[in-house]
Amino acid sequence: MKWVYRLERKFGRYYIPRLMLVIIVGQAMVFLASQLSPAIQLMNRLSLFWPEVMRGEVWRLVTFIFIPQTTSPFGLILSLYFYYLIGNTLENTWGGFRFNVYYLCGMLGAIFAAAVTGYGTGYYINLSLFFAFAMLYPDFGVLLFFIIPVKMKYLALVSGALCLIDLLFGSWSARAAIVLSLANFLLFFGGDFLDTLRRQLRYSRTRRAWRGQNWDNRR
């Protein structure tokens, strides 16, 4: 992340404070407006459809981040609360500028994916926030289905496995969307993620060797 530090030294005062709050308030407003006036098809007008961008509707390059990822009111409340918690924590940890850069990189990845596939979504930007939070706070606990306590690192592993399945067996458009939209996570955490995997592999090999020695001694 040295490149981020260099950017911060030069441009650190230019950022949107409390960016995640701005985004979730925007999503709530879009959801409410869509429910009150479904005929205007607001979500379609704000979504990142690349052919429409090429026809001059350039606002879609920004407004797609305000599209809610669910049509359920209860699901929306949970989603907005969850991502506000994650985004606000990341901003407090990194500072406003770095968090803005991380989110902006996710947006650029989604836009590049739209240029390739024809359609972009904020889903993988939210997923990249989740992965970043899990890297920084792996033992943070949440209640799955309000009952089962689960640590963030395990939820991230499951989500990562699902992404890997889509990457291996999905369409080329899905692969492009995943790789490009999660590029911000790789830019910020690629080295740390690989180091973590190496440590886990070494730990697993050591445990297997230790268990093998104990089994031989017992025999």
DSSP 42-102: HHHHHSEEHHHHHTT-TTHHHHGGGS-S-S-HHHHHHHHHHHHHHHHHHHHHH-HHHHHHH
Distance CA 108, CA 30 (A): 22
Show the tokens assigned to 51. Answer: 């052919």
* pLDDT computed for residue 213 by the predictor: 63
Classified as helix, coil or strand, 151 is strand
Domain at 82, CATH number: 1.20.1540.10
> What does residue 121 show for φ and ψ, rounded to 5 degrees?
-140, 155
Reported as half-sphere exposure (CB side, CA atoms, 13 A), residue 78 has a value of 11
Q: Which of 61, 54, 159 is nearest to 109 (CA)?
A: 61
Angle at 19 between CA 15 and CA 21, to 5 degrees: 155
* pLDDT computed for residue 1 by the predictor: 64
What is the widest separation between alpha-carbon atoms in the chain?
Answer: 76
* pLDDT computed for residue 27 by the predictor: 94
Domains in the chain: how many in total?
Answer: 1
| Structural domain harbouring 154 | 2-218
Query: 48 forms bridges with which residues in the sheet?
Result: 120
Measuring CA to CA, how many Å separate 79 from each of 13, 24, 68, 73, 211? 30, 9, 9, 10, 43
Distance CA 91, CA 19 (A): 8
Classified as helix, coil or strand, 149 is strand
CA dihedral 125, 130, 100, 178 (to 10 degrees): -30
Angle at 79 between CA 76 and CA 85, to 5 degrees: 140
* pLDDT computed for residue 18 by the predictor: 92
pLDDT in tens, the chain (219 residues): 677 778 888 888 888 999 999 999 999 999 999 999 888 889 999 999 999 999 999 999 999 999 998 888 888 998 899 899 999 999 999 999 999 999 999 999 999 989 988 888 888 888 899 899 988 888 887 766 667 778 888 888 888 888 888 888 877 777 888 888 788 888 888 665 556 656 666 666 676 666 656 555 565
Q: What is the pTM of this model?
A: 0.82
Distance CA 53, CA 110 (A): 14
